[in-house]
Each structure stands twice: as C-alpha cells, then as structure tokens.
Structure 1
Amino acid sequence: MTLLADELNVVASNNPFLAKRKEYAKSNIRLTRDLSRLSQFKFKQVDDRSKEFAERAVQIWRV
C-alpha cells in the first residue's frame, strides 16, 4: 500500500507494478516516489519497506 493522489491513482489503478512505477515517480509524496526506483515490489520489498517505516516511526514518535 502507498499513498497516491486521486488522478495518479486512477491512472495506476490495478495495473501491474511496472506500469504503476511511472505514476509513483510523479507523486509529490517522497515515500511513494521512492517506489519508482524499485525493479519489483514483491513480499521481500513490502517487508523491507514495513521495517523501514517502523524504524522511522520509532524515531519520530519516541515513547
């Protein structure tokens, strides 16, 4: 899952990842734009991205 503005999301729709990369690259959201640099987005990439988000969350919202 990633954030994608309305019109970019409509174009990306349910296309395969490689087609969506073009729309991800146009995003104003850096976390979404980062996806455009990947050659694939499978379970390993999702897992790596989730771990990265968790690390960032701990830095931002310290308890």
Structure 2
Amino acid sequence: MRGAEVRTKNKVRNAARVVKGRAQEAAGRAVGNDRMVARGKSEQVKGHLRQAGEKARDAFTE
C-alpha cells in the first residue's frame, strides 16, 4: 500500500507544479516580466514530464 500512496502523492505534486507554472507565467505576462514567464513555462514542462514518467511507471506496474 505504501507504493500506491507515494505514487498518488507524486501525481498531486506534479499537477500542482503545472498549476504553479501557469500562475507564474500569467503573473509574468501581467507585469511584463519575461524571466518570470520563462520560469513559469519551465515549471509547466517539468510537471508535464514528471506526469508522463508517472504514467509510464503505472503502465509497467499494472
């Protein structure tokens, strides 16, 4: 059961990373800060890549 709990926790963390990135990108656009926009996009990519990794891991464990 421990493994399932960790996977769920990771999925939530990765989804939060994507949401955080979207918010950071939007805030950067609102204030005209290109660096903040780039950091937001980077956070989103990290979240999406980690989500893909979790999906692949789930496919092999089922």
Fold similarity call, TM over 0.5: no
TM-score in terms of structure 2 length: 0.35
Higher helix share: 2
Q: Which of the two has higher C-alpha Rg?
A: 2
TM-score in terms of structure 1 length: 0.35
User: Whose RCO is larger (CA < 8 A, sep 6+)?
Assistant: 2
